[in-house]
Amino acid sequence: MSFSDQPIIPTEPTPTPPPARDPNAAAAARGRRRRANRREMFPADAEGQAALIAALARRAYPSLELFVFSLVCGAIIGLGFLLDSQAVLLLGILVTPLMTPWVGFLLAILTGSPRFLFETIMALLVSAVIVFLGGLLAGFAARLFLPMTLSNVFIHARLWIPELAVLAVGAITLVASFARSEDRPFLPSVIIAYAFYLPINASGFGLGSGVAGIWPQGILVFAVHFALASILGLLTLFAIRLRPTMQGIFASGITLLLFAGILIIFMGTGLPSPVAAVIATSTSTPTMQATALPSLTPSLTATTTKIPRPSSTPAISQTASVTPTVGTVTITSTATITATASSTPTASTPTATVPATETLPVTLTNVPDSISGAISASEGGGANLRQTPNGKYLMTLDNGTIVEIYPDFRQVNGVAWLHVFVTRNSQRVEGWLLESVVSYATPEPNFEPTATP
């Protein structure tokens, strides 16, 4: 038996094409993987839920870092209000502590744990007091420099719709990010700290400086922000399928009702605008009072005089003078009529003299048209009263403050200024305001600009 000398070369097998992939099957597989990941992240069984909530509670437990950073950011924010600098305020917000204890507060409500709820509430309260004290000390320091511009303090002691919208986004993002990832969600935490700490510090600044319109408005703004963020945070925990316990259901219901009441009361739902109410009650109607004109009743005295010769033709003279005074118009009318009739030498000539000199006092009491207005600034919650147009700062007038407007008007660099006065502490303060921050209670006047010195 012999073998061929030619080498045997195996042939390549014909490749079998892979089976065609069904797009629907691939999408279904991806959906199954996502659901599996969600089940692993948020388990549905009671044991898995308890383990997940316990892990989140350990991460959200307050630490010493919360109080140290609260002290630093409270001092920086207070300095920013003292300098009226947005850059310094931004620096203070960047060094705020991570707001995970607030998430722990929501988890304590969800689980109905009294101890954990007390610890998180006390930690948040101590942190808020530290930030408040930073603003209080800055307010005491501001007394040395008053009057001064405090625009940023008034801005953060008022409610603003855009700020509430940003707070809602930050609250939902912080809770969802904290529950889904082990990383620290710094950006949404900064948003929550911005909404919580700036109004608290501004309120302390107002109490320390004694400037009206800041304390306790800042505390009320903080209460509204905290209530809104907590409601949205609890709803987010429910949305990611973290089931509360029986105690948690009861605590969550009470908390939602309490925070909803705070929003309704402090946001003034259904109430008219304060500025509009002030303008409506301050509208005045100019009046004019005049006394009746007295009637003129001249007395006629006739005498008969015998003269030997005829005299000239009758002469009539009349003099009228008007003397105006402030608030009183005095009309003096003098009329002298002398009539002489000629006759024969033996006839008598009658002479009639009519003294009609009389002073007619006419009193016209004219109440001048009062041009009233109210402060209605779109930003800052008020306007700055200055000694001259764009001159030295005198004081800050809150929105709704009634001012009386002089018939004076100036334009400086294309900006209109009104000459006004306001009554503060039984004292009349005179100054200048931007026309754009004044809403007229009476019909809007048509000012003519005067020369600017």
Secondary structure of 5-34 in HEC code, one letter for each residue:
CCCCCCCCCCCCCCCCCCHHHHHHHHHHHH
Distance of alpha carbon 451 from alpha carbon 453, whole angstroms = 6
**243 Cβ contact list (under 8 Å, min separation 6):** 49
Best CA proximity match to 446, nearest among 367, 371, 366: 371
Residue among 178, 194, 154, 162 at smallest CA distance from 61: 178
The whole-number average pLDDT for the span 390-413 is 83
Query: Shortest CA distance to 94 belongs to which of 76, 114, 82, 68?
Result: 76
Q: How far apart are CA 394 and CA 421, in angstroms?
A: 12
Confidence category of residue 135, pLDDT binned at 50, 70, 90 = very high
Q: Scanning the structure block, which residue is given the tokens 């089976």?
A: 19
Q: Which two tokens stand for residue 114?
A: 């009294």
pLDDT digits (tens, 9 = 90+) for 328-346: 444 444 444 444 444 444 4
Q: What is the pLDDT of residues 184-212, one digit of tens each?
A: 889 999 999 999 999 999 999 999 999 88
Closest CA to 169 of 197, 152, 194: 194
3-state secondary structure of 297: coil
Q: In angstroms, rounded to a whole number, what is the distance separating the alpha carbons of residues 80 and 87?
A: 8
Top-confidence residue, 366 or 233: 233
The least confident of 168-172, 326-330, 376-380 is 326-330
Which range among 5-14, 35-44, 90-99 has the greatest average pLDDT? 90-99
pLDDT at position 318, please? 45
Number of H-type helices and E-type strands within the chain: 12, 13
Grade residue 126 by pLDDT with cuts at 50, 70 and 90.
very high
Signed CA dihedral, 147, 148, 149, 155: sign only: negative
Distance between CA atoms of 127 and 193, rounded to whole angstroms?
Answer: 11
Note the pLDDT of residue 45.
67
Which residues lie closer than 8 Å to 180 by C-beta, 6 or more apart?
Answer: 41, 240
381 and 157 in contact (C-beta within 8 Å)? Answer: yes
